[in-house]
């Protein structure tokens, strides 16, 4: 069997933690070029969309809680 006839192996998928870490790093602007390339070549777009939405919701809730704590201590 020649190299052209061999079935292509599927690239390894990113784990849940790799997806979560990449999403957080990208959100804060500290994503490395190697990680970005890995994400685009091996990542599932649906997982990144879901992780981005979840991260955004958690981030907004955290900001609201922090603001409420600060404002409750001011008055």
67-71-72 Cα angle (round to 5): 115
Name the token pair of 56.
Answer: 């955004």
| Cα–Cα distance measured from residue 58 to residue 54, given in angstroms and rounded to the nearest whole number | 6
Place of tokens 């603001």: 67
Return d(Cα 35, Cα 19) in angstroms, integer.
10
Q: How do residues 18-48 score in pLDDT, each as one tens digit?
A: 999 999 999 899 999 999 999 999 999 999 9
- Of residues 7 and 73, more confidence is placed in 73
Domain boundaries, the chain: 16-74
Per-residue model confidence (pLDDT) at position 5: 65
pTM: 0.72
Task: Report which of 11, 12, 24 is spatially closest to residue 52, judged by C-alpha positions.
Answer: 24
């Amino acid at each position: 069997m020649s190299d052209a006839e061999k079935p292509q192996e599927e690239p390894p998928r990113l784990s849940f933690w790799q997806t979560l870490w990449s999403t957080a790093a990208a959100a804060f602007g500290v994503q490395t070029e190697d990680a970005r390339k890995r994400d685009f070549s091996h990542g599932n777009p649906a997982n990144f969309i879901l992780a981005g939405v979840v991260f955004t919701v958690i981030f907004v809730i955290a900001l609201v809680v922090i603001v409420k704590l600060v404002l409750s201590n001011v008055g």
